[in-house]
Every structure is written in C-alpha cells, then in structure tokens.
C-alpha cells in the first residue's frame, strides 16, 4: 500500500488573514473556511491547509521565525522567477533571501505573514 500526501498544512496566527494572503498570492480563494481553518485547492490536486495555531491539537510550538520548512514553487524558467520576484516585491511580501544564484540555480525566498518561507526556483535538473 502506498501513501500519497495530499495537503500541506501550515499553522498560522490569523486564519482569515492567511487565507486572504494565500488566496491573493495563488489566485484561488479558500474553498473551505472557518474561524480556525481554511483550505485552498492547488492546481496539482493538493490542498494548502491553514490552521489557527492557538486552536491546533495537539498544541504546536512556534519557532522564532514561524516555521522550520518551506513551500517551494518550482517554475519553468529564469524569466518566470524574475517575474514572480518583481510581483511579490510589488505586493509587499517580505523578502528573506534576495534573488540570487545558488548551486541549484536562481532562487529567492519570501515570507508569508507568519514567517513561513516561500521559495521560488527552477525544477531539479
């Protein structure tokens, strides 16, 4: 039997604010929303879940900057990275890592309202 992940779940401070942030960023509003949880469908069939940190059971422990991981947006080419970098800066997203070239190619990292890292890069070659 195989198990396939179908949801990315982030613990957030303000569910409504995070749902609005991701709805705008992804161009897709939440399909389910309550005061403590919101779910946004993703184009690849997965779901982004946003769960109010204060209501999560069992309780979570926040890190200093919000998270220990990243959501990665792999895009088709450098031009798309440049476009997203300019768009996200114009939207006012906090940029944690400026557009740079690393050993795996061009990349940048922005932060969501809770400090979760959002990396944009090329697919693995």
Is 100 in the same domain as 80? yes
Is 83 in the same domain as 34? no
Are 120 and 107 spatial neighbours (Cβ–Cβ below 8 Å)?
yes
Q: Which structural domain, as residue segments, surrounds residue 82?
A: 63-125
38-42, 113-117, 121-125: least confident range: 121-125
Is 78 in the same domain as 88? yes
What pLDDT is attached to residue 62? 61
Are 60 and 53 spatial neighbours (Cβ–Cβ below 8 Å)?
yes
Instruction: Give the residue-averaged pLDDT of 9-28.
Output: 94
Look at residues 31, 61, 91 and tell me which one is the last residue of a structural domain: 61
Look at residues 9, 31, 61 and tell me which one is the last residue of a structural domain: 61
Q: What does the pLDDT look like over 78-107, one tens digit per residue?
A: 999 999 999 999 999 999 999 999 989 999
Question: Could you tell me the strand order of the sheet in which 37-41 lies?
Answer: 7-12, 47-52, 37-41, 32-33
Percentage of residues of the chain with pLDDT beyond 90: 62
**CATH number for the domain harbouring residue 97:** 3.10.180.10
């Amino acid at each position: 039997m195989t198990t396939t992940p179908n949801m990315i779940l982030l613990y957030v401070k303000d569910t409504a604010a995070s749902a609005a942030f991701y709805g705008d960023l992804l161009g897709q509003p939440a399909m389910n929303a309550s005061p403590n949880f919101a779910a946004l469908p993703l184009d690849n069939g997965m779901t982004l879940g946003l769960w109010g940190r204060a209501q999560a059971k069992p309780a979570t422990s926040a890190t200093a900057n919000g998270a220990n991981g990243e959501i990665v947006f792999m895009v088709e080419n450098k031009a798309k990275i440049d476009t997203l970098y300019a768009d996200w800066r114009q939207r006012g997203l906090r940029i944690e890592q400026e557009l740079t070239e690393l050993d795996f190619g061009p990349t940048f990292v922005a932060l969501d309202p809770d400090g979760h890292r959002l990396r944009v890069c090329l697919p693995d070659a």
